[in-house]
Structure 1
């Protein structure tokens, strides 16, 4: 990546959705649902390779895009309201309900651990923390280097799972790099030579994972244990080396996948604009099928056929959960307006910059604004 450019110094009005980003969200959401579904079959070689391949870059991909879309966060009243309604409220709702469902079947966790996300809601907590810390990454001279050092060092110490802090700090470099991405950098990835190399890189990675992953400790891909903790059991040097390798692989495969994302508007664009609902809802279905019917245990005896069937079913479910009827039904639940909770936001006068904005000198635009 070339020298860092200044981050935007003003908030911006809501703009038309970018087809490229929604297409990217669509394809990575398919990987998320497939990966979560195949978690039940990781003891099988036919599923383990695909699982490891997906987990080596699907969250780095999602996080980098999240960083890019958050690059204008300044902490003004409008943005704070948005964080509460689309991150805090969904987090509390999803984490509480999933823990209650799990406790109904297994008796755990008891008591409820609402500030220690057990599964899906960790990403909502991460987005909340990353978004609030965005001003820090604006102020630092070497933000990417700092985030990488934090990621490497966090595995050396005991960090409580409050709001999934170990994962938040481990994945931090992908968010910070996303903050410093520009449209021009994304466009460079569309170069035909880069796309051809990306196909080779992703294909080779899948082949390597499928061939050798049976001997790998896949808990490294969860980014949450200390290096010396079971089942990792690594020394400090081994742990930091493995984490550095995962960072490098994550960035390489993420940029390779981003280069292959279509730029044009299509049916995947509309579906990609609704990945939020798919992400939150698919976990309920997986947990219900697993705990109520033991479906995945029953299917495992069919071996490779079970993996293929589960993958196909995950694709169908993911697409259904990204349809408009689902968003219409669940938007009031997962994205409540909460007008009763917040004060009215006064409209800024033409001569007064809004909260979080820097006045523009006449005839000039702030550095870093497109």
Structure 2
């Protein structure tokens, strides 16, 4: 990808300021996720909400997966990298799991501490942890995208790969995570900069909207969640069930590329600033939606104007959670200060030196110095 100056840009490119393009995309995806979870308990009852759910599916979790890959490194996991993974992924996942359990208990449920199967959106953190561990290995493969896609299709035939430890989604979304990493390395540059790709991207998003409006009742939510094995009752039976998953993954990748092509690359008032807190929005919003669900506030929504009001409330919640004061307030949970858990200095392994054979006719040092 290139900025207007023509200088190649990658996710790892250091710089004094953030790239507003990614922040814009992050805010839209996070807001769509908040909207889905806000209307989730009633969307099946309303045509408009259910079609909106299907039309924007690829712009939510698949987009978040690809964006996570954009900002990931495929370098070896040294001491500092492992510390960063623990501090930014593992510890927040455990902290928010406890928070969700406490809130559920406060709302009347039995207290259950989730470790192997994290609640709500926290499966993404568990999957992100495994993606980060696997990425240095995946990039060593000769055909990474083909192999990870085959693994994503094959895992649907293994019953043991389910929601425990986010196993199924970790494998299924791995091709999209790798695709995001490739984008971060500068791949598909012509797609993001060429004039011809813009009308194609707009057309792709419009087709998704039409499909969502016309056939949202015919597309199973289990196909989209991809959290469990294939089902014998699927239309194409077990033998050809992988074709459905392949079509979903391919359409998700294409629609996210369309989405990123349409998203403005320049800084947008308010949106770019709020997008910097996309991860905060993602982690915090269930804590605010759960009480509204349990107290029956969402179930009361019925009329079209009420549905529109519900969507606007979800957008407002996303904007509040992405604001700088909220990010500052919850930073100890998002980026917990756990440095005392680590040793004062990173433990590094001394490189192993293997003696090499002396060449039969060594080059004279005078020649080396002269060169």
Which interval holds the TM-score relative to the shorter structure?
0.7 to 0.9
In the other structure, the counterpart of 2:341 is 341
Change (3 A) 1:73 1:307: farther
Change (3 A) 1:280 1:346: closer
Change (3 A) 1:169 1:184: closer
Query: Alignment RMSD, CA only?
Result: 2.5
Partner of residue 95 from structure 1, selected from 72, 93, 97:
97
| Unmatched segments (≥5 aa) in structure 1 | 1-10, 354-370
In the other structure, the counterpart of 1:356 is none
CA contact (8 A) 2:79 2:347 kept: no
Alpha-carbon offset, residue 306 of structure 1: 2.8
The C-alpha deviation readout for 1:41-96, integer Å capped at 9, x for no partner, is 22211110000112234211111121121134421222212111111111011122
Question: For 1:296, what is the secondary structure of its paired residue?
Answer: coil
CA contact (8 A) 1:227 1:234 kept: no
In the other structure, the counterpart of 1:367 is none
Q: For the residues of structure 2 that align with 1:317 and 1:98, how far apart are their CA atoms?
A: 18
In the other structure, the counterpart of 1:50 is 52
Q: For the residues of structure 2 that align with 1:260 and 1:247, how far apart are their CA atoms?
A: 20
In the other structure, the counterpart of 2:280 is 277
In the other structure, the counterpart of 1:243 is 245
Q: For the residues of structure 2 that align with 1:327 and 1:14, how far apart are their CA atoms?
A: 22
Question: For 1:120, what is the secondary structure of its paired residue?
Answer: helix
Q: For the residues of structure 1 that align with 2:332 and 2:155, how far apart are their CA atoms?
A: 38
Partner of residue 222 from structure 1, selected from 217, 220, 225:
225
Change (3 A) 1:184 1:215: closer
CA contact (8 A) 1:56 1:221 kept: no
Q: For the residues of structure 2 that align with 1:78 and 1:319, how far apart are their CA atoms?
A: 33
The C-alpha deviation readout for 1:311-358, integer Å capped at 9, x for no partner, is 11111111111111011111012202312111234799xxx99xxxxx
In the other structure, the counterpart of 2:296 is 294
Following superposition of structure 1 onto structure 2, how do residues 259-338 of structure 1 map, counting pairs within 5 Å? 259-267=261-269, 268-291=271-294, 293-299=295-301, 301-302=302-303, 304-338=304-338
Following superposition of structure 1 onto structure 2, how do residues 79-158 of structure 1 map, counting pairs within 5 Å? 79-105=81-107, 107=109, 111-158=112-159
Q: For the residues of structure 2 that align with 1:346 and 1:170, how far apart are their CA atoms?
A: 34
Determine whether 1:36 maps to 2:37. yes
After TM superposition, the score normalised by the length of structure 2 is 0.83
Question: For 2:193, what is the secondary structure of its paired residue?
Answer: coil
Alignment: residue pair count: 335
In the other structure, the counterpart of 1:64 is 66
Change (3 A) 1:209 1:21: same
Alpha-carbon offset, residue 112 of structure 1: 3.2
Change (3 A) 1:45 1:66: same
CA contact (8 A) 1:166 1:223 kept: yes
Q: For the residues of structure 2 that align with 1:98 and 1:41, how far apart are their CA atoms?
A: 22
Q: For the residues of structure 2 that align with 1:78 and 1:306, how far apart are their CA atoms?
A: 49
Change (3 A) 1:85 1:253: same
Alpha-carbon offset, residue 192 of structure 1: 2.6
Change (3 A) 1:73 1:272: farther
In the other structure, the counterpart of 2:167 is 165
Determine whether 1:18 maps to 2:19. yes
Q: For the residues of structure 2 that align with 1:72 and 1:149, how far apart are their CA atoms?
A: 21
Q: Which stretch shifts more, 232-241 or 271-280?
A: 232-241
